[in-house]
Amino acid sequence: MKHDDPIHCEVKLAAHLRTEYSAGVYVQTFENRHREEAMHAILTQLGADRSGLLSENQKRQARIILCGQSRGGSAMVEIARELGKHGTPVLLTVQVDGVKCFGADDGVIPPNVARAANFYQPDRMVRGREETRAADPSKTQILGNFRFDYKEHPIHCPEYPWYDRTLAKTHTEIACRLATWSRAEALIRQQISPASAKQD
């Protein structure tokens, strides 16, 4: 998917958060293959120097939330792991039907992540990881591995291309289901300071 394709719920969620929160909250979407670009954007927002390094104070003040769908879920865990190598904490990761890529183990959440949630559906060839676990349970709280099943109650996604609706039917259904993203948004909101909301 393109990072700004308006038919995708994650793009709609990002736009909604941008509208609701002040300039103090940076919200951006990236395609899964642009992991380095995403990492650079995060470090820039945190005030990294020209070599991409953060001060200890900048690390302590970091309030990072990562959310990824499909292969983006795997890329998101890799970004969290890379941030952890530099001692940078992540408040929350949310995976939506994450599909493994990059040869990485996206089922293990690194210890620099405080909380993690996983939404998945188990049907068809393209399906999400059923379980994520913490590398260090004393540092990371797994909020849940939430299963969605669309066999009896299919979701219609007319805006999506026919090949997505045919070849990756249930994978597409969880992606276009508004309830999935409403739950993700609720988790994200819990981590954002109320003071960051725009005032009428």
Range of weakest confidence among 5-9, 21-25, 36-40: 5-9
Residue 120, pLDDT score: 86
Percent of the chain with pLDDT over 70: 88
The pTM (predicted TM-score) of the whole model is 0.86
Distance separating alpha carbons of residues 51 and 38, to the nearest angstrom:
16
* Per-residue burial over 129-148, b = 16 or more CB atoms within 10 Å of its CB, e = otherwise: beebebeeeeebebbebeeb
Residue 149's region, left for phi above 0, alpha for psi from -120 to 50, else beta, is: beta
Given a cut of 90, whether residue 138 has pLDDT beyond it is yes
Residue 43 has pLDDT above 90, yes or no: yes
Residue 130 has pLDDT above 90, yes or no: no
Rg, Å, the chain Cα set: 17
* Whether the predicted pLDDT of 114 surpasses 80: yes
**Rounded Cα–Cα distance for residues 105 and 25 (Å):** 29
Given this model, what pLDDT does residue 179 score? 80
pLDDT of residue 144: 93
- pLDDT for res 122: 75
**Mean local confidence (pLDDT), 59-71:** 92
Confidence class of residue 156 from pLDDT cuts 50, 70 and 90?
confident
Q: Is 76 helix (H, G, I), strand (E, B) or coil?
A: helix
Which range, 66-75, 106-115, 141-150, 175-184, is most confident? 106-115
pLDDT at 50: 84
Q: Does the structure show a pLDDT above 80 at 77?
A: yes
Report the C-alpha dihedral over residues 78, 79, 83, 85, rounded to 10 degrees.
20
Instruction: Give the angle subtended at the CA of 79 by the CAs of 87 and 83, to the nearest 5°.
Output: 10
| Portion of the chain with pLDDT greater than 90, in percent | 44
